[in-house]
């Protein structure tokens, strides 16, 4: 094989390697973006058990406050 043909062959291979490297970098950037988006969504994640526990506590506090108000003797004229 002549030197010129060998150089053309190498140029083609190097072009393919460059293209593959560009694609790998694109995929790497996309993965980083997905990882960042996933991390951002993780912070907003809501635990159903935690929400239900907070609702139960709020109901208990409301019931206790209402019972306290009902059992309080009115003060004022009289």
What is the model's pLDDT at position 28? Answer: 95
Nearest CA to 48 among 58, 56, 38? 56
Q: What is d(CA 63, CA 60) in angstroms, rounded to the nearest whole number?
A: 5
What is the model's pLDDT at position 31? Answer: 94
**What would the pLDDT profile of 26-70 be if each residue is shown by its tens digit?**
999 999 999 888 877 666 667 889 889 999 999 999 999 988 888
| Pairwise pLDDT comparison (12 vs 4), residue with the higher score | 12
**Residue 74 in this model has a pLDDT that exceeds 80:** no
Q: Where are the domains of the chain?
A: 3-71
CA-CA-CA-CA dihedral for 31, 36, 38, 44, to nearest 10 = -170
pTM over 0.85: no
């Amino acid at each position: 094989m002549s030197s010129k043909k060998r150089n053309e062959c190498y140029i083609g291979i190097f072009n393919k390697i460059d293209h593959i490297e560009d694609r790998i970098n694109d995929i790497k950037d996309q993965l980083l973006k997905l990882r960042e988006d996933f991390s951002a969504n993780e912070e907003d994640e809501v635990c159903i058990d935690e929400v239900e526990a907070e609702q139960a506590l709020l109901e208990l506090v409301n019931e206790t406050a209402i019972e306290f108000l009902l059992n309080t003797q009115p003060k004022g004229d009289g």
